[in-house]
């Protein structure tokens, strides 16, 4: 751990991001270019994300399973758009056990194909549907430029794959999962997101429609934080996923897939972090409360520590860490835990022992303003309430920031100005030409066509033709 201050976000946002991750010990660079090591603190955060999502999946009838890492090359080639989309970024194994392989094996970039193959074996009848399986795992995509969490060659995620009897059910599933992602982002991560549909040029290779949740980072760039795809019958036809309906007629299934990855950790970092470091939402924070004991000598220590132990015990199921490292000063510890984003710090010293109090310092409110004395009585409920307050004020702060950086625009000039430091919300005619013009001239792309539409019609902010949907344009990660 370095003693030096972080670069400020205003000064160099990407350097701030890289350093926060390393100093907070979320992740480190691996010896292979573009790969990362997720360190215990980062993995613990990921485990909490997994648990929050997994419980929502289970509550909607999904079950977990595990499919292989290796996929025969020929599988990828069965769906035309899919292979075209992914072939530039595949890692391929050509040698196994010292022998050249008969058929190269692809390290999965995503598992639609191999799961489709298995589904064709498992699904015979309408009675087998819907089939609702999720997998937690890792995938590999050989990216050109990489960033910790945001884009690495290998990343961890969950991918849900479902098969349905009708288009309507598949559509409902796609939107149900989009809604689950939205609620996870808002309720668990305190990350405000806009759910919407992707434009044709931004959709998943092989999908009929892709949906995403889009979040605004602290530098106003957009981050796709989760996706849900309606695959139609594309993969069902490529892999013969068929069932007999009630009339004994053979039908193709309708399938979906949806995923959230370790990229979401990047979203949390860049949504909540400040110039002191990370700020983690209480619901997901590996450590919700850190207790720093304060004492000058052994005599004071002997009086303070029993109270520290008592408070820790009283906090019950709240995730608490007592920082009893004797070689460091309290001041150092304050900065250290602020860097790591622990939402609430309790200081307990001789004065608190006398007064029956503890000093509480909110991570989201810097300095004296965020400090208050709490009585030792009923500490669990007052700390619990404070954590809830922090959770909701993090969300409100992020939402206010985002909303103040979204501009409704009606013409091209206003659009190009808006995307310099925020998002543009505009009518769009739906043509790829308009998207391309904006991308070439401003680097901004369409992020999503939000589910929430104003209704009515308007004029495309790029070309002026009739438009019946509004879209967000933004520079994106």
Partner RNA sequence: CGGGGUGUAGCGCAGUUGGCAGCGCACCGCGUUUGGGACGCGGGGGUCGGCGGUUCAAGUCCGCCCACCCCGACCA
Measured CA to CA, the distance from residue 392 to residue 390 in angstroms comes to: 6
With a CB cutoff of 8 Å and minimum separation 6, the contacts of 464 are: none
Taking the complex as a whole, the smallest distance from the CB of residue 27 to RNA amounts, in Å, to 12
Alpha carbon separation from 400 to 309, 311, 409, 464 (Å, rounded): 39, 35, 19, 31
Taking the complex as a whole, the smallest distance from the CB of residue 374 to RNA amounts, in Å, to 11
Taking the complex as a whole, the smallest distance from the CB of residue 283 to RNA amounts, in Å, to 22
Measured CA to CA, the distance from residue 38 to residue 266 in angstroms comes to: 12
Q: What angle do CA 380, 182, 50 make, to 5 degrees?
A: 60
| Residue among 229, 252, 255, 376 at smallest CA distance from 304 | 376
Residues near RNA (CB under 7 A) are 1-6, 14, 18, 29, 32-34, 85, 88-89, 141, 143-147, 150-153, 155, 157, 204-205, 212, 224-227, 259, 261-263, 276, 294-297, 326-332, 334-336, 338-339, 347-353, 359, 361, 367, 371, 443, 476
Q: Which is nearer to RNA, 56 or 263 (CB)?
A: 263
Measured CA to CA, the distance from residue 109 to residue 89 in angstroms comes to: 8
Measured CA to CA, the distance from residue 186 to residue 170 in angstroms comes to: 24
Task: Extract the tokens encoding 342.
Answer: 């622990």
Q: Which is nearer to RNA, 263 or 425 (CB)?
A: 263
Taking the complex as a whole, the smallest distance from the CB of residue 154 to RNA amounts, in Å, to 8
Task: Extract the tokens encoding 314.
Answer: 């009283």
User: CB neighbours (10 Å) of residue 477?
Assistant: 17
Taking the complex as a whole, the smallest distance from the CB of residue 358 to RNA amounts, in Å, to 7
Q: Which is nearer to RNA, 136 or 334 (CB)?
A: 334
Q: Which is nearer to RNA, 117 or 264 (CB)?
A: 264
Measured CA to CA, the distance from residue 169 to residue 273 in angstroms comes to: 39
Q: Which is nearer to RNA, 85 or 343 (CB)?
A: 85
Q: Is the peptide bond before 441 cis (omega within 30 degrees of 0)?
A: no
Q: Which is nearer to RNA, 376 or 468 (CB)?
A: 376
Taking the complex as a whole, the smallest distance from the CB of residue 16 to RNA amounts, in Å, to 12
Taking the complex as a whole, the smallest distance from the CB of residue 80 to RNA amounts, in Å, to 14
Q: Which is nearer to RNA, 85 or 384 (CB)?
A: 85
Q: Which is nearer to RNA, 267 or 429 (CB)?
A: 267
Taking the complex as a whole, the smallest distance from the CB of residue 454 to RNA amounts, in Å, to 26
Taking the complex as a whole, the smallest distance from the CB of residue 468 to RNA amounts, in Å, to 26
Q: Which is nearer to RNA, 108 or 141 (CB)?
A: 141
List, in sequence order, every residue forming a beta bridge with 372; answer none if it has no partner. 360
Q: Which is nearer to RNA, 93 or 328 (CB)?
A: 328
- List strands edge to edge, sheet with 91-96: 70-72, 99-107, 91-96
Taking the complex as a whole, the smallest distance from the CB of residue 151 to RNA amounts, in Å, to 4
């Amino acid at each position: 751990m370095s003693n030096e201050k972080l670069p400020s976000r205003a000064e160099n946002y990407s350097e701030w991001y890289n350093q926060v991750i390393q100093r907070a010990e979320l992740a480190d660079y691996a010896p292979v270019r573009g790969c990362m090591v997720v360190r215990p603190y980062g993995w613990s955060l990921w485990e909490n994300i997994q648990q929050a999502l997994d419980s929502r999946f289970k509550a909607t009838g999904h079950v977990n399973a595990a499919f292989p890492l290796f996929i025969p090359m020929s599988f990828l080639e069965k769906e035309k758009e899919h292979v075209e989309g992914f072939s530039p970024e595949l890692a391929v194994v050509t040698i196994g056990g010292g022998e050249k392989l008969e058929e190269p094996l692809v390290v999965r970039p995503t598992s639609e194909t191999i799961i489709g193959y298995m589904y064709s074996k498992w699904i015979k009848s309408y009675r087998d549907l819907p089939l609702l399986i999720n997998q937690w795992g890792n995938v590999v995509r050989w990216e050109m430029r990489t960033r910790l969490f945001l884009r690495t060659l290998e990343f961890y995620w969950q991918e849900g794959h479902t098969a349905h009897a009708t288009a309507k059910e598949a559509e409902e599933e796609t939107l149900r999962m989009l809604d689950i992602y939205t609620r996870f982002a808002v309720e668990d991560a305190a990350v405000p997101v806009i759910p919407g549909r992707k434009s044709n040029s931004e959709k998943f290779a092989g999908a009929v429609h892709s949906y995403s949740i889009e979040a605004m980072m602290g530098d106003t760039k957009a981050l796709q934080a989760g996706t849900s795809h309606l695959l139609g019958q594309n993969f069902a036809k490529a892999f013969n996923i068929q069932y007999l309906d009630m009339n004994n007629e053979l039908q193709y299934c309708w399938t979906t897939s949806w995923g959230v990855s370790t990229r979401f950790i990047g979203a949390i970092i860049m949504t909540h972090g400040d110039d002191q470091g990370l700020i983690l939402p209480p619901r997901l924070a590996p450590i919700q409360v850190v207790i720093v004991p304060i004492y000058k000598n052994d005599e004071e220590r002997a009086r303070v520590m029993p109270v520290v132990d008592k408070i820790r015990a009283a906090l019950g199921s709240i995730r608490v860490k007592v920082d009893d490292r004797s070689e460091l000063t309290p001041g150092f510890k304050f900065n250290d835990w602020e860097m790591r984003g622990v939402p609430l710090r309790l200081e307990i010293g001789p004065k608190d022992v006398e007064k029956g109090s503890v000093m509480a310092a909110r991570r989201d409110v810097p300095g004296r303003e965020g400090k208050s004395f709490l009585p030792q009585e009923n500490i669990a409920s007052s700390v619990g309430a404070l954590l809830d307050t922090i959770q909701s004020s993090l969300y409100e702060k992020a939402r206010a920031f985002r909303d103040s950086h979204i501009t409704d625009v009606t013409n091209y000039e206003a659009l190009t100005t808006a995307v310099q430091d925020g998002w543009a919300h505009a009518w769009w005619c739906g043509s790829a030409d308009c998207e391309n013009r904006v991308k070439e001239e401003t680097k901004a792309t369409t992020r999503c066509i939000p589910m929430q539409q104003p209704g009515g019609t308007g004029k495309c902010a790029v070309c002026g033709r009739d438009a019946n949907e509004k879209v967000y344009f933004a520079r994106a990660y």
